[in-house]
Amino acid sequence: MPLHKTNILKIYNSLSGEKETFVPIHEGNVGMYVCGPTVYSNVHLGNVRTFMSFDMIFRYLLHLGYKVRYVRNITDVGHIVDDVDEGEDKIAKKARLEQLEPMEVVQRYTVDFHEILKEFNFLPPSIEPTATGHIIEQIEIIKKIIANGIGYEANGSVYFDVVKFNETNHYGKLSGRNIEDMLANTRDLDGQSDKRNPQDFALWKKAEPQHIMRWPSPWSDGFPGWHLECTAMSTKYLGNHFDIHGGGMDLKFPHHECEIAQNEACTGQTPVNYWMHANMLTLNGKKMAKSTGNNILPREILTGGSEFLSKAFSPSVTRFFMMQAHYRSILDFSDDAIVAAEKGYNRLMEAMQNLKEIVPKNSSTIDIPTWKKECYEAMNDDFNSPILIAQLFEGVRFVNILKDNSATLTSEDLGIFTKTMQAFVFDVLALEDGKSSSDSNARLEGVIEMLIRMRNDARANKDFALSDHIRDQLIALGIQLKDGKDGTTFTL
């Protein structure tokens, strides 16, 4: 029997503001859509956290035995700077600044995104569609919204009439806003815009002559509005009504609010049962932003090449650090915090090794079934990974007392214990054994120290041929030796 039959999963639904029991539309199946990256620059660590939260959620759903179709898109056109519809497409702007074809920008940063995610041990989504690959679907949706009287054309662009929509539906139900307040708080359009109301958003934008990314449409040569692609791609692959839609907290408004409005205006159905939003990552208590320099790139963690880091950390240590916080909580990144996480990760991995050596006995002095139940309860409570990790450290304590023979387990309990630890550590949290960079760094440093001692011995014995040979070989490997008063040091 699949585990999902016996596990009651609760999910915090941003739409209701409550934890709700998860009941999929089609029993045993889950359709999940997550807004992917806009590929106009390197993915930042906050994005990695968001996608890692949904990777953990995807993995737990799979672990429960659900058949999951996980769709995560690539935004390769239409994402407007500052979300002002009069603005410039982020990708087109980047292309202009870097003197590149827009598709060259898209290709470069899509490859980078995939490399980073692979490095951090992500499972690929089931489908990864691109906005540019779904222009026809987006045009079809616009046609329906216009036919239903909620969209209007003006000078070759098409806008969504939020006020008209709100007469029969509720615009603002996800973000908890209401349209009267929104209208009261926005400036007049000054006749500068083709929009009827300031809250209206673009479904289609007519391309300026210099705009390279453009497609023919019934209204103009142009490009789709950003919000539209997710409506087109989620419904194409998951149907007009599907289970889970996720994304970063910052996408709740306007992006997801607009998605709901488009879906309802097009199909008459509300698209999603459970809206999930992952919280942000701060750095040393402040918002991460490239412009202020308060920023770390994912690769800088792996190389230690950042002013905010004392050393390098492995992908698994980074993942363990992220999983120590609940996905809906703000997580603050700091050198101290990840150093502490590394110690915890190393203890966990050591226990996983020691667990293999434990020998079963005739009786059990630890209540493994209760512990196992508590592990599942943690994850069933809106994917509470920090509580799960606390349970896994209870498991570490079990390993230690089993190892020094102050506790015993029967063969059956030991089997359950080992299987559960492995499932949560390796499959759900996706930590990888033996990938701690501090371990391999320590080993490398040990070997270099040994060679330095051999060289110094050779010099003491006046065997300069050997001492020079060792030094030259190390230089060839990129390791520089420096002789000083206090002995020999090295740099990598």
- The annotated binding site for Zn(2+) is made up of 35, 230, 255, 259
Confirm or reject binding of residue 317 to Zn ion (CB under 5 A): no
Residue 35 sits in the site that holds Zn ion (CB under 5 A): yes
Residue 67 CB burial class (10 angstroms; 0-12, 13-18, ≥19): middle
Sole window of 208-216, 226-234, 353-361, 450-458 interacting with Zn ion (rule: CB under 5 A): 226-234
Amino acid in position 115: E
Q: Are 382 and 10 in contact (CB under 8 A)?
A: yes
Which residue's CB is nearer to Zn ion, number 230 or number 452? 230
Q: Between 35 and 139, name the residue whose CB sits nearer to Zn ion.
A: 35
Closer residue to Zn ion, CB minimum distance, 230 or 238: 230
**Least spacing, CB of residue 259 vs Zn ion, in Å:** 6
Nearer to Zn ion, 35 or 158 (CB): 35
Length of the chain: 492
Q: Least distance (Å) from Zn ion to the CB of residue 251? A: 6
Pairing of strands 222-224, 242-248: unpaired
**Of residues 442-461, those binding Zn ion (CB under 5 A):** none
Query: Which of the ranges 35-43, 368-376, 399-407, 439-447 carries the binding residues for Zn ion, by CB under 5 A?
Result: 35-43
Distance CA 59, CA 425 (A): 11
* Cα–Cα distance, 429 to 107 (Å, whole number): 30
Q: Which of 230, 265, 323, 388 binds Zn ion (CB under 5 A)?
A: 230
Task: Based on DSSP, count helices (H) and strands (E) in the chain, helices before strands.
Answer: 16, 15
The residues pairing with 160 across neighbouring beta strands, listed in sequence order, are 151, 201
Q: Does 74 bind Zn ion (CB under 5 A)?
A: no
Residue 397, CA distances (Å) to 141, 347, 392, 393, 463 in order: 56, 10, 9, 6, 52
CB of 129 to Zn ion, least distance (A): 11
User: Which residue number, 275 or 333, has a Cβ lying nearer to Zn ion?
Assistant: 275
The least CB distance from residue 247 to Zn ion, in Å, is: 6
Annotated binding residues, written as ranges, equal 35, 230, 255, 259, 290
Instruction: Give me the residues paired with residue 20 across strands.
Output: 11
Kindly state the tokens that stand for 481. Answer: 């030796």
**Residue 309 in contact with Zn ion, rule: CB under 5 A:** no
Binding-site members for ATP are 290
Report the interface residues with Zn ion, using CB under 5 A.
35, 230
